[in-house]
Structure 1
Amino acid sequence: MIVTQDVTKNYGSSCVVDGVTLSLPARGVTSIIGPNGAGKSTLLSMVSRLMSMDRGTVTVDGLDVTTTPGDVLARRLSILRQDNHMTARLTVRDLVSFGRYPYSKGRLTQEDKRHIDEAISYLHLEELAERFLDELSGGQRQRAFVAMVICQDTDYVLLDEPLNNLDMRHATGMMKLLRRAADELHKTVVLVLHDINFASWYSDTIVAMRAGKVAAQGSAAEMIRPDVLSDIYGMDIKVHEIDGHRICLYYE
């Protein structure tokens, strides 16, 4: 379980994350939603220790992320950042192999190579494994980055807006892959999403943020409701049910 206690981050006089206390359940998919500027990505960065906190604590299965050695934390938690561009000319296999660094420190063992092959296969990248990243489409590159975090073989996988720059087809494929990782590989997947409908369709738990605070948290059935969403986003949101899932329509 990921637990945050009074987590706060300020930029000058602006409080971006304001005393956030919450528990994110182990296993399954948790989506963090909310309007722009709500503090979603900043919170995820502090949970993963990419960004320091001004106040508060974060623990992952009881490990304090501030004091736990980096190599120990990297075997428990992995993150895919929003700005995951690579300047070096790497193949897909090269990129995926970075996921094994916490274990191999750059000297790949047969065990590491097995994990690399399995991650490439899991993301259906076999035919692209020796292709350079700059030769791939945006959707293919995003799958390669997800393969890298899957290859790290952590219990917790954090992704900051993994659907950025993906069309509807590729975004749907990405969400299906993340759902499979939670169900088949028993991962805890935590992601920041802008699309409420993807959160509704694929999440076990949804956390909604507004103005740096947690506005609401619950199951998709509890969260995907007009009264909850309209208050969070400050606009009229209608909810309809299709095939047992709740779908949102937005109105200005």
Structure 2
Amino acid sequence: MEHKKENKLIFQGLVKDYGKKRVIDGLEGGIADNHITSLIGPNGAGKSTLLSILSRLLKQDGGEVSFMDKSLRDYKSNDLATKLSILKQSNQTDVKITIRDLVAFGRFPYCKGRMTETDWQKVQEAIAFSDLEDLADAYIDELSGGQRQRAFISMIIAQDTEYILLDEPLNNLDMKHSVHVMKTLRRLVDELGKTVVIVIHEINFAAQYSDYIIAMKDGKIRYNDEVNHIIRPEILQEIFGIEFDIIEKNNKKICNYFNI
């Protein structure tokens, strides 16, 4: 069932081929505004490809993406960067910089490198929002993987876009940092009204923190609906090919797929 929420990011007939392999095949849908939408599915389902097309990092071979009633392809890069931000899977920097300086890169679409007092205020707010004040002057290469990922998310927060897209932001994080990242994303939606789209592998994080889920398999969207309509044993078994037992606690669903 397709959700009925209004959305400003809409895609129609999306197709992407890598050589002779069609990795996404005629995708139709939209992203619910002011909510967290998780893209789930097995490896090779097309999740990251869809996210890359929606962020214009990747050009589709067919179909159209509309963003705020305008074709995504018609945006100037700098204008788009003030409305939509993307955090890719691998975020590395070889430059010796502090968290504060890294977060300041998020202000580039606005200041072009000439930081104003307002820009630095946005940087400070982003660092505080990510609970990184004590580490603001630490160097990125001296941080743990979890701290480094939080710093990159803080940079995206400083970019202050309405839409935030993240490709597997929990990759290689321990449980503590994964929870911190997801709580931060939840707060971005609940407190600041952002729209967050996330590619995620751990189904329980999707179940606990998402509002909507797009479930993909074999390059197609099988479901795009509210989280409680997707986190069901028969749907998850169809998507992932294994059995699930769903446990409900505190009005949240927990997916058990270890002991089935």
Asked if these proteins are the same fold (TM beyond 0.5), I'd say yes
- How many residues in Structure 1 have an aligned counterpart in Structure 2? 252
Task: Give per-residue Cα distances to partners, 1:194-231, cap 9 Å, x unaligned.
Answer: 01111111111000000111011111110000011000
Match of 2:181, as an amino acid?
M
Tell me how far 1:25 sits from its aligned partner.
1.1
Using the alignment, how far apart are the partners of 1:19 and 1:101 within structure 2?
35
Point out 4+ residue stretches in structure 1 off by more than 3 angstroms.
none
Quote how far apart the aligned CAs of 1:98 are: 0.7
What is residue 122 of structure 1 aligned with on the other side? 129
1:50 maps onto 2:57 in alignment: yes
How far apart are residue 82 of structure 1 and its match?
0.5
1:137 maps onto 2:144 in alignment: yes
Question: 1:3 aligns to what?
Answer: 10
- Cα distance in structure 2, aligned partners of 1:29 and 1:186: 10
User: CA RMSD, aligned part only?
Assistant: 1.0
> C-alpha distance in 2, partners of 1:80/1:152?
11
Aligned-pair identity in percent equals: 49
How far does residue 6 in structure 1 lie from its aligned partner after superposition?
A: 0.8
1:230 maps to 237
Alpha-carbon shift at residue 32 of structure 1 (Å): 0.6
- Higher mean Cα deviation, 24-33 or 56-65? 56-65
Secondary structure, in 3 states, of the residue corresponding to 2:64?
Answer: strand
The one-letter code of the counterpart of 1:244 is: N
Aligned amino acid, residue 178 of structure 1: L
**Distance apart, 1:238 and its partner CA:** 1.4
Whole-angstrom CA distance in 2 between matches of 1:111 and 1:219 = 38
Gaps of 5+ in 2: 1-7
1:192 positional shift: 0.5
Separation in 2, partners of 1:82, 1:69: 24
- Alignment gaps of 5+ in structure 1: none
1:1-252 pair list within 5 angstroms: 1-251=8-258
In structure 2, give the amino acid aligned to 1:182.
V
CA distance in 1 between counterparts of 2:122 and 2:66 reads 27
